[in-house]
Amino acid sequence: LPDTDTVRAAIVAERLRSNLAELAVPVAAGRVEVTASFGVATLRTVVPAPQAALAELIRKADQALYRAKEAGRNRVVLAEPQDETR
């Protein structure tokens, strides 16, 4: 999400999570409910090595995602402030 700060990115992720949780996919045996967890991380500045920054950003978001799953799933977790990529 270009030009999106951490708060706005978290709002978008929460909307996605909430909308998915309201879905019920019909199947032959009834319906399947859908939930999702999101890890949110932001890149505050452009750095001299954009590829390395992108890899680090993905790593931070992945860590936040795993924290969401460990905390019970179906939630949005932000990267820890010290984890934010600069």
What is the DSSP code string of 29-69? TEEEE----EEE--B-S--S-HHHHHHHHHHHHHHHHHHHH
pLDDT in tens, 10-53: 999 999 999 999 998 999 999 999 999 999 999 877 667 778 88
Domain ranges of the chain: 6-83
Residue 41 vs residues 17, 26, 48, 80: alpha-carbon distances, Å: 16, 33, 19, 8
Parallel, antiparallel, or unpaired for β 76-78 and 38-40? parallel
Question: What CATH topology corresponds to 6-83?
Answer: Alpha-Beta Plaits (3.30.70)
| pLDDT of 79 higher than 50 | yes
DSSP letter assigned to residue 83: G
